[in-house]
A and B are shown apart, each in its own frame.
Chain A
């Protein structure tokens, strides 16, 4: 239904999106995973028609281009930065956005109440958004993208700056929407969110699509081995063959069979204090693909999050 074909977008000398293609079908959550500045928001902007691609083509569900106002009816965008009228109440915000999509009368009232319920804001529906907490605004920001019940949802870092309860609430909503048959692109720099919510993940960095596949297959292909670490305070006896070098009181090695390795060591009589097994995940995949860890690459993101929380409160 959504089809993105070889789109490019640059801001002056910054190449924000390079030759990205992807397809999305109903009932699917596609993770768009990449550090801050990877080009996720730019890609969503191209899909939503906020930006014009330098090259390439986007086809929305229904077949239209996002530059065509009518075709945009099929998509809902929850922007990364809060996009609400602080001077209006929750209900007024939703009703206003619904009217922009041509909803009127009973239909409008129904959709607005459904979205207020979805955001868990029924009791605060007549309060101005200016009086809301960051988490409440985030939920309303998502609800405003759903008010016209679009088949395609673009969620740009919907959990930035929210408390754990709101995060869990948002996850539930995304899963429910997916089960209702919506096609969802979920942009995030949190590996955990992508692996929890998405079957398929697109990994982007510096505007490039580095990989696009099921999470399992990405890990299989790029995740490599599990990493095992045991803490061994005393020098191990010479007789025991260690799977890795003994350094600073620990032994570290990579393997596809972590449990068998540990079993063998125990049988050989080695005693140790702690065991850590790190199975490969999207983080490892990202590390493999870029040579950097997702966390390091997105280090500056944390300060941005902090700002977001402040601005939202």
Chain B
């Protein structure tokens, strides 16, 4: 036993040194995950910024000339915003809830009757804004006020409509029972004089100039629109596993756990092949003749594999952090790394038993790796994997390794959520290590 404490590290050091000197193996273990992580992180990062245009839905429930004019004004003034029109209220509000649009503007019935007319009660607009997009809220209100100001300007120039509105107003006031007669008389008189003023207004007189920030600096004395805010709770968009995608802070959050898997698979395969290579190059004979037990030989390989996997994951985490990845649950990383390394060390021991030639072992191992990675989220991220693949993926250790890393990085796993992948990884590792090392020990002890 005391012997093992010296010999296992001796054996492992030799293997790590050989790995370090083997350019090809080093490329698979270190180069591939870095390139993979950077490449996929970079392309999905650019997808996001390409999609950064603000999306606002407008629901026209009024379907009047003036509601359509407002929509036209907004579209013309803000061509960079992606305006969604033609949706009904429910669909638009749902889109806000899901985060598909930043805001929904609802123009309710009767909007056109009052919009842009000073003497009427300001028209009621309804606005629903994604609460998580606080920064955009003021901007949306601002452009809405500006649009309403422009609409008012248009309407003022539209004498016919203005006169008709005035007449409507006068009639409304005259027939109002809530106002006292003198008040009614005074208001009607005032409106009539306005009516005259519009009659005398020259054709080409400009409408109201509305400054850009009018919406926000809207004085209390005058409103183009009364905006009623519709309270919405943001129903966040979740991935296939139910984690809010808004948790993802950078593209590296997804690309790095995925890329790390390829380094881990590279490690496991390299060490499985190296055991077979020792057989081919004859060095295994010397290990077998030396005064050490077969279990020690297997232990040396296992330790080397374990250390290499830990190093690869650590390297990827350091690199990701340098690029801006910020694990939400850093305390889950250490157990995650250890369980993952343990699991793939066990898998390495099993893979090493499957063949007698390097070609056979590496061929079989990479075949298995690709299948494990495909269903486990090593190729397409777990977050977007179709459900049938997710189900098959349950048997892939790759899935659990990615899950535990993602749990720490962006899925914000609690300890109890992390317990499942940690237990699966440790359990698979234990079974595989016992199975693999038992077979290897038998193979090594000459009982062929």
Neighbouring A residues of B21 by C-beta, 8 Å: 87-88, 128
The reply on A40 being an interface residue by CB < 8 A is: no
CA distance A87 to B290 in the complex (A): 20
Neighbouring B residues of A59 by C-beta, 8 Å: none
CB proximity of A44 to chain B, nearest CB, Å? 10
Neighbouring A residues of B293 by C-beta, 8 Å: 69
The reply on B285 being an interface residue by CB < 8 A is: yes
The reply on A183 being an interface residue by CB < 8 A is: no
Whether B287 and A100, one on each chain, are in contact in the complex, defined by CB atoms closer than 8 angstroms, is yes
Instruction: Kindly supply a per-residue 1/0 record for chain A positions 3-44, scoring 1 wherever the CB is within 8 Å of any chain B CB and 0 otherwise.
Output: 000000000000000000000000000000000000000000
| Nearest-CB residue, chain B, relative to A100 | B290
Interface residue count on the B side (C-beta < 8 Å): 26
Whether B17 and A79, one on each chain, are in contact in the complex, defined by CB atoms closer than 8 angstroms, is no
Whether A102 and B6, one on each chain, are in contact in the complex, defined by CB atoms closer than 8 angstroms, is yes
The reply on A144 being an interface residue by CB < 8 A is: yes
Whether A84 and B281, one on each chain, are in contact in the complex, defined by CB atoms closer than 8 angstroms, is yes
The reply on B164 being an interface residue by CB < 8 A is: no
CB proximity of A273 to chain B, nearest CB, Å? 51
CA distance A87 to B10 in the complex (A): 16
Whether A70 and B281, one on each chain, are in contact in the complex, defined by CB atoms closer than 8 angstroms, is no
- Interface locus among A91-99, A236-244, A284-292: A91-99
Whether A82 and B290, one on each chain, are in contact in the complex, defined by CB atoms closer than 8 angstroms, is no
CB proximity of A119 to chain B, nearest CB, Å? 15
CB proximity of B35 to chain A, nearest CB, Å? 24
CB proximity of B343 to chain A, nearest CB, Å? 27
Whether B447 and A84, one on each chain, are in contact in the complex, defined by CB atoms closer than 8 angstroms, is no
Neighbouring B residues of A143 by C-beta, 8 Å: none
Neighbouring A residues of B3 by C-beta, 8 Å: 102
The reply on A168 being an interface residue by CB < 8 A is: no
Instruction: Kindly supply a per-residue 1/0 record for chain B positions 283-298, scoring 1 wherever the CB is within 8 Å of any chain A CB and 0 otherwise.
Output: 1111111111100000
The reply on B18 being an interface residue by CB < 8 A is: yes
The reply on A83 being an interface residue by CB < 8 A is: yes
**Given the interface contacts A52-B446, A96-B14, does A84 sit within 8 Å of B282 by beta carbon?**
yes
Whether B282 and A100, one on each chain, are in contact in the complex, defined by CB atoms closer than 8 angstroms, is no
CB proximity of A29 to chain B, nearest CB, Å? 20
The reply on A200 being an interface residue by CB < 8 A is: no
**Given the interface contacts A88-B17, A96-B14, does A75 sit within 8 Å of B289 by beta carbon?**
yes
Our pick among B11, B292, B446 for the contact of A69 (Cβ within 8 Å) is B292
Whether B6 and A77, one on each chain, are in contact in the complex, defined by CB atoms closer than 8 angstroms, is no
CA distance A8 to B317 in the complex (A): 57
The reply on A51 being an interface residue by CB < 8 A is: yes
CA distance A223 to B372 in the complex (A): 67
CB proximity of A13 to chain B, nearest CB, Å? 15
Interface centre among A71, A84, A87, A102 (most CB of B within 10 A): A87
Instruction: Kindly supply a per-residue 1/0 record for chain A positions 30-74, scoring 1 wherever the CB is within 8 Å of any chain B CB and 0 otherwise.
Output: 000000000000000100111110000000000000000111110
Our pick among A45, A52, A72, A92 for the contact of B290 (Cβ within 8 Å) is A72
| Nearest-CB residue, chain A, relative to B288 | A50
Whether B290 and A50, one on each chain, are in contact in the complex, defined by CB atoms closer than 8 angstroms, is no
| Nearest-CB residue, chain B, relative to A67 | B445
| Nearest-CB residue, chain B, relative to A104 | B6
| Nearest-CB residue, chain B, relative to A92 | B17
The reply on B209 being an interface residue by CB < 8 A is: no
- CB-CB contacts below 8 Å: B1-37 with A: 3, 6-7, 10-11, 14, 17-18, 21-22
Neighbouring B residues of A102 by C-beta, 8 Å: 3, 6, 291
Whether A82 and B446, one on each chain, are in contact in the complex, defined by CB atoms closer than 8 angstroms, is no
**Given the interface contacts A50-B288, A75-B289, A97-B290, does A83 sit within 8 Å of B282 by beta carbon?**
yes
Whether A72 and B285, one on each chain, are in contact in the complex, defined by CB atoms closer than 8 angstroms, is no
CB proximity of B308 to chain A, nearest CB, Å? 15
CA distance A77 to B447 in the complex (A): 20
The reply on A172 being an interface residue by CB < 8 A is: no
Neighbouring B residues of A133 by C-beta, 8 Å: none
CB proximity of A278 to chain B, nearest CB, Å? 39
Neighbouring B residues of A84 by C-beta, 8 Å: 281-283
CA distance A104 to B330 in the complex (A): 40
The reply on A246 being an interface residue by CB < 8 A is: no
Neighbouring B residues of A73 by C-beta, 8 Å: 291
CB proximity of A311 to chain B, nearest CB, Å? 10
Whether B289 and A82, one on each chain, are in contact in the complex, defined by CB atoms closer than 8 angstroms, is no
Whether A50 and B291, one on each chain, are in contact in the complex, defined by CB atoms closer than 8 angstroms, is no
Whether A51 and B281, one on each chain, are in contact in the complex, defined by CB atoms closer than 8 angstroms, is no
Interface centre among A77, A81, A83, A97 (most CB of B within 10 A): A83
A and B contact pairs by CB, cutoff 8 A, 26 listed? A49-B289, A50-B446, A51-B446, A52-B445, A69-B291, A69-B293, A71-B291, A72-B289, A72-B290, A73-B291, A77-B286, A79-B282, A79-B286, A81-B282, A82-B282, A84-B282, A85-B14, A85-B18, A88-B17, A96-B14, A97-B290, A99-B6, A100-B291, A100-B292, A128-B21, A144-B286
Additional 4 contacts, C-beta under 8 A, given A50-B289, A77-B285: A69-B290, A77-B286, A100-B290, A102-B3
